[in-house]
Chain A
Amino acid sequence: MFRETALNVRDKKVQGLFRLLFLTMTLLLILPVLVILGMLIYKGGPVLSIDFLFTAPTDGMTAGGVFPALLGTVWLVGVALLVSVPIGIAAAIYLSEYASDNWFTRIINLAIINLAGVPSIVHALFGVGAFVVFFGFGTSILAASLTLAIMTLPVVIVSTRESLMAVPQAFREACWSMGATRWQTIRRVVLPNSVSGILTGVILEVSRTTGETAPIMFTGAVFFTPFLPQGVFDQTMALSLHLFVVATQVPGVPDELPYGVALVLIGMVLLMNSISIAFRMYLRGRKKW
């Protein structure tokens, strides 16, 4: 009774083999991440300092810090958010709470999916044509941020819509059956219960936008400028473009400088992601159903 048979032995071997295979693939997956981070910290770490963050590049961009680029990225991302978040959330609310499933909403959904699939360089060209030339904003923070906003809009819409749909339908039925209008239902029940997910999506979008290079390089971000941006019609430097520039376009840059820039960029993204995760955990801990 209950003794191991030859069949059991064989099955267990196969089982062990597959387990090993899947584990190896998982490790392969995180390996590049570890290597990249390790390289960056090893090579770029020594460059980092408070001075590096808060001074401008000097000596033809071969020395000094990244402050104008850092500030520029904050401007670009900030203005892009001001545009994309309200529009995206409003559109998501319409699609999830008001629209019924018909050919019109299906076309809109298709458009959102397609918009998300457009390569960023195509967005860049659109940005040049529409915002820089047609609307006459010139190469400016406004043109670049609008381009970024359009590019990230699908992300905001999709993540917001998912958070809204995660609110149980029973809550809506409860409200409607008591005579609440759609808006009363959204305002008092749906939004309070999805705000954590919506904000998480927004923060993730920030981290994505931070790293974008193509959409801003023709529309508002410049190689080098001695001036800090004063408003949305100024041009600006940006971290992502700055990294590209010091890594490939400027002769005589010390080896570790680009790594320092990359570390700052990745640091910003990681910071945003950590905030988003912490925030989500905090809000999730409070809600219950």
Chain B
Amino acid sequence: MQTDKRPAAIRTRDLNLWYGTFQALFDVSLEIKQGIITSLIGPSGCGKSTLLRSVNRINERLGYVRIDGSIEVMGKNIYDEDVELVQVRKQIGMVFQRPNPLPISIRDNVLFGYNLHSEKRRTPRSELDGIVEDALQQVLLWDQVKDKLNRKATDLSLEEQQKLCIARLLPVKPGVLLMDEPCSALDPKGTEAVEELIWELREKYTILIVTHNMAQARRASEECIFMLMGKVIEHSPTESMFVTPAQQETADYIEGRYG
């Protein structure tokens, strides 16, 4: 896979992060390439979720988080003074571990983000219908739900809920999708379906995905970052990381000696 020549979509420089007095990230400097799937792996507590969450600044509402260093997304440091948080969240979508559709209709879920960011006071119904169909098509959910768009989203199966959670990000046309163990609440069949979907979405979006599941990282990502104790140990194309890891710690982890 030719991933080397791609430009970086996310670039962190000397990123340090503290929860109170506990330092969770140490000098993280990374270049995450545009239009591919990069997976973050490592044992529990290694800082992978923290790193993911600082990329759309969702960590911030915890008052005791302190950050040093920078995260550039599409060339702009999202921690700069002149950055509007709402725009950050719009450009950088987030999918959570447990599917969290809002307790409103499927259609309203898909349009929720769109309505937040739409400058028009009213969008014609036909245009909204198109947006809903397009988003649901992209996440391979349209055929299952097209006849029950007004039903509550919380009635869907977990797999469908998670697909919907991805679909609702798409109408605002984000550049980056962050996923925090998006399949860990799903059964094997659901996992497979959502993985397939994520694979379909690459190229159009830069996808950064945290996973506990080594097989998933290997199957469904093009580059892989291995973290340990808040530090990046290795960042390389997935295939080479799993076949010929450069670091001893990576090899140990991949072979299941800890984690």
Which one of B94, B152, B165 contacts A288 once the chains associate, using CB atoms below 8 Å? B152
Q: Do the beta carbons of B102 and A174 come within 8 Å of each other?
A: yes
Q: How far is the CA of A191 from the CA of B85 in the complex (A)?
A: 23
Tell me, yes or no, whether A90 is within 8 Å of chain B by CB: no
- A182 nearest in chain B by CB position: B61
From A173, A178, A181, A287, give the contact of B113 (CB < 8 A).
A178
Report chain A residues within 8 Å CB of B90: 178-179
Of B102, B116, B117, B172, chain A has the most CB atoms within 10 Å of the CB of B102
The CA-CA distance from A160 to B87 in the complex, in Å, is 32
Please tell me if B75 contacts chain A, counting CB pairs below 8 Å.
no
Give complex CA distance A63, B247 in Å: 96
Question: Would A289 and B103 count as touching, CB distance under 8 A?
Answer: yes
- Min CB gap A79→B, angstroms: 35
**B49 at the A/B interface (Cβ < 8 Å)?**
no
- Nearest opposing residue in chain B for A170, CB measure: B100
Report how far A102 CA is from B63 CA in the complex, Å. 10
CA distance A100 to B58 in the complex (A): 15
Chain B, interface size category, equals 20 to 34
Contact of A193 with B103 in the complex, beta carbons under 8 Å: yes
Interchain CA distance A40-B213 in the complex, whole Å = 68
How long is the Cα–Cα vector from A170 to B63 in the complex, in angstroms? 18
In the complex the two chains form, is B89's CB within 8 Å of A174's CB?
no
Q: Does A171 contact B (CB under 8 A)?
A: yes
Contacts of B169 in A (CB 8 A): 178
Cross-chain contact B154 with A170 (CB below 8 angstroms): no
Interface string of A155-174 (1 = CB under 8 A from B): 00000000000001011011
CB distance from A250 to the nearest CB of B (A): 56
Nearest Cβ distance between residue B52 and chain A, in whole angstroms? 11
Contact B154–A288 (Cβ < 8 Å): yes
What are the residues of chain A within 8 A of B63 when measuring CB–CB?
100-102
With CB as the reference atom, state the residue of chain A lying closest to B91.
A179
Contact A174/B86 with A100-B63, A193-B103 known, Cβ cut-off 8 Å: no
* Contact yes or no, B98 A289, CB < 8 A: no
Residue contact B112 to A178, C-beta cutoff 8 Å: yes
**Shortest distance between the CB of B154 and any CB in chain A (Å):** 5
Q: Is B96 an interface residue, CB under 8 A from the partner? A: yes
Q: Which of A100, A173, A287 contacts B103 (CB 8 A)?
A: A287
The 8 closest A-B pairs by CB, nearest first: A179-B89, A170-B100, A177-B94, A178-B113, A179-B86, A174-B100, A179-B90, A289-B154
Q: A178-B112, A179-B116, A288-B155 are in contact. List 14 more A-B contacts (CB 8 A).
A: A168-B100, A170-B96, A170-B98, A171-B102, A174-B165, A176-B61, A177-B89, A177-B93, A178-B90, A179-B87, A179-B89, A179-B113, A184-B116, A288-B154
